[in-house]
């Protein structure tokens, strides 16, 4: 098999001036030393070590400081301290504009967003789309091929429904949302403004509700909805179940990675970020500004307080009432070592009983000696 060497291929956008790209950044994040904002035209973003003219790059990791010396980027965002160090080494590139800011990474994120996310919506409904007669689709929305829009659906201004999206009856998608190919939103669910839902996500499928009987499992009707706030991003193939009675709620600013499962009647607080492959069982409430690492397992009917960090692959079987970082992961070890340790873990309960017995016996002997 041929080995494919890694390489960097820029993704080019239409040229932008710094003045355009910097709009709305300086006020919240503070550009300390703004150069002539008309002196460069930016066409792409790139890492420091491979950046060429037309590229915007940044330094936020001190381990990469040496890459500043040879970078050919047109614009580099960095802290004042890093720029002063560059000056002290007489390594300033006269062809590069250096932008000093306390938040280089945030400036990069802002620049990249303005550079690549400004694709205009092409208003109109594709000939192969099926839109119910009772649906209300704003005239500025773009409805692509094979989209299905159900009865009484509301699609807001500037919404882009990409190929194969399905909106069930009574769904609401507010202004500025982008639903990528093959997203499915079941009946009655609502999505707030400026949300991004990536390909294959399913919003509002039935929660996993069954009542045990002697004859087997009896399905319980799931009559709640999924309510999603503003500025939420939902990753590819993530699933969010509708509520059994009350609604499943995803609040403003939540960021969900790919392949996450959120069960019925969960509530996710504002600006919480959850990484891929996390499973959250039903009726769990996660507070604001939490971070949940990849493949964490969150039990049902529990609460996680705001500002909590749960490390990847950690199991959370009970409520977390005090904010902090929680980790429950055994370190990597050789398989034979794991087998030995696993054997000990299986016998921990018996060892505990024996230890308590010895402690009690020891206490009794001590009493006898004193008497």
> What does the pLDDT read at residue 29?
58
CB atoms under 10 Å from CB of 159, counted, come to: 24
Extents of the domains making up the chain: 16-116, 183-326
> What does the pLDDT read at residue 342?
87
Q: Is the pLDDT of residue 326 over 90?
A: yes
- Point out the least confidently predicted range of 1-5, 66-70, 132-136, 209-213: 1-5
Does 133 or 36 have the greater pLDDT score?
A: 133
Q: Is the pLDDT of residue 119 over 80?
A: no
Q: Would you place residue 22 in the very low, low, confident or very high pLDDT band (cuts 50, 70, 90)?
A: confident
> What does the pLDDT read at residue 371?
43
Decide if 264 is catalytic: yes
Q: Is beta strand 210-213 parallel, antiparallel or unpaired with respect to 216-219?
A: antiparallel
> What does the pLDDT read at residue 34?
56
Reported for 347-351, long-range contacts at CB under 8 A and 24+ positions apart, including other chains, are none
Q: Is the pLDDT of residue 319 over 70?
A: yes
> What does the pLDDT read at residue 167?
98
Q: Is the pLDDT of residue 370 over 50?
A: no
pTM for the complete prediction? 0.88
Beta bridge pairs of residue 172: 154, 190
pLDDT, the chain, mean: 92
Q: Is the pLDDT of residue 8 over 90?
A: no
Q: Is the pLDDT of residue 321 over 70?
A: yes
Q: What's the CA angle centered on 347, arms 343 and 349, to 5 degrees?
A: 150
Instruction: Estimate to the nearest angstrom the gap between the alpha carbon of 182 and the chain centroid.
Output: 19
Assigned superfamily of 16-116:
MurE/MurF, N-terminal domain (3.40.1390.10)
Q: Is the pLDDT of residue 208 over 90?
A: yes
Average of per-residue pLDDT across 6-34: 75
Q: Is the pLDDT of residue 332 over 90?
A: no
Q: What do you get for the CA distance between the two ends of the chain, in Å?
A: 82
Q: What's the CA angle centered on 135, arms 134 and 136, to 5 degrees?
A: 120
Beta bridge pairs of residue 297: 279, 315
* Residue 35, burial from CB neighbour count under 10 angstroms (0-12, 13-18, 19+): middle
Does 193 or 32 have the greater pLDDT score?
A: 193
> What does the pLDDT read at residue 18?
82
Q: Is the pLDDT of residue 54 over 60?
A: yes
> What does the pLDDT read at residue 344?
86
Q: Is the pLDDT of residue 366 over 70?
A: no
Q: Is the pLDDT of residue 3 over 90?
A: no
Q: Is the pLDDT of residue 284 over 70?
A: yes
Q: Of these residues, 44, 160, 198, 264, which one is catalytic?
A: 264
How far is 121 from 213, CA to CA, in rounded Å?
Answer: 52
> What does the pLDDT read at residue 335?
94
Backbone torsion region of residue 176, taken as left when φ is above 0, otherwise alpha when ψ lies between -120 and 50, otherwise beta: left
Closest among 147, 232, 139 to 181, alpha carbons compared: 147
Contact yes or no for 287/273 (Cβ under 8 A)? no
Share of the chain above pLDDT 70, in %: 93
Q: Is the pLDDT of residue 76 over 70?
A: yes
231: CB partners within 8 A, 6+ apart: 192, 193, 194, 195, 252, 253
CATH topology of domain 183-326: UDP N-Acetylglucosamine Acyltransferase; domain 1 (2.160.10)
Average of per-residue pLDDT across 342-361: 87
Contact yes or no for 101/29 (Cβ under 8 A)? yes
Map 293-331 to HEC letters.
CCCCEECCCCEECCCCEECCCCEECCCECCCCEECCCCC
């Amino acid at each position: 098999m041929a080995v494919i060497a890694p390489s960097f291929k820029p993704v080019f956008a239409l040229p932008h001036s710094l003045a355009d790209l910097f709009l709305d950044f300086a006020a919240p994040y503070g550009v300390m030393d703004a150069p002539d904002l008309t002196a460069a035209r930016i066409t792409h973003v790139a890492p420091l070590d491979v950046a060429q003219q037309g590229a915007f790059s940044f330094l936020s990791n001190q381990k990469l400081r040496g890459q500043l010396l040879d970078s050919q980027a047109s614009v580099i965002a960095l802290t004042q301290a890093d720029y002063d160090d560059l000056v002290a080494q007489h390594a300033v590139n006269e062809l590069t504009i250096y932008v000093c800011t306390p938040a280089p990474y945030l400036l990069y994120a802002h620049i990249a967003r303005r550079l690549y996310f400004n694709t205009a919506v092409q208003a109109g409904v594709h000939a192969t789309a099926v839109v119910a007669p009772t649906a209300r689709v704003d005239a500025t929305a773009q409805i692509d091929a094979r989209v299905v829009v159900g009865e009484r659906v509301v699609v807001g201004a500037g919404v882009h429904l990409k190929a194969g999206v399905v909106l069930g009856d009574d769904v609401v998608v507010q202004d500025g949302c982008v639903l990528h190919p093959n997203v499915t939103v079941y009946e009655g669910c609502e999505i707030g403004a400026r949300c991004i839902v990536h390909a294959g996500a399913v919003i509002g499928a039935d929660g996993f509700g069954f009542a045990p009987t002697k004859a087997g499992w009896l399905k319980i009707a799931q009559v709640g909805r999924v309510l999603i706030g503003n500025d939420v991003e939902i990753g590819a193939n993530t699933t969010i179940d509708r509520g059994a009675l009350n609604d499943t709620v995803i609040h403003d600013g939540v960021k969900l990675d790919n392949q996450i499962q959120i069960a019925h009647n969960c509530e996710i607080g504002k600006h919480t970020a959850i990484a891929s492959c996390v499973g959250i069982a039903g009726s769990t409430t996660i507070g604001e500004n939490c971070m949940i690492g990849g493949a964490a397992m969150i039990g049902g009917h529990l609460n996680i307080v705001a500002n909590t960090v749960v490390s990847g692959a950690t199991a959370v079987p009970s409520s977390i009432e005090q904010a902090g970082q929680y980790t429950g992961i055994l370190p990597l070890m050789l398989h034979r070592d794991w087998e030995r340790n696993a054997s000990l873990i299986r016998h921990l309960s018996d060892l505990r009983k024996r230890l308590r017995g010895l402690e009690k016996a020891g206490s009794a002997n001590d009493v006898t000696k004193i008497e």
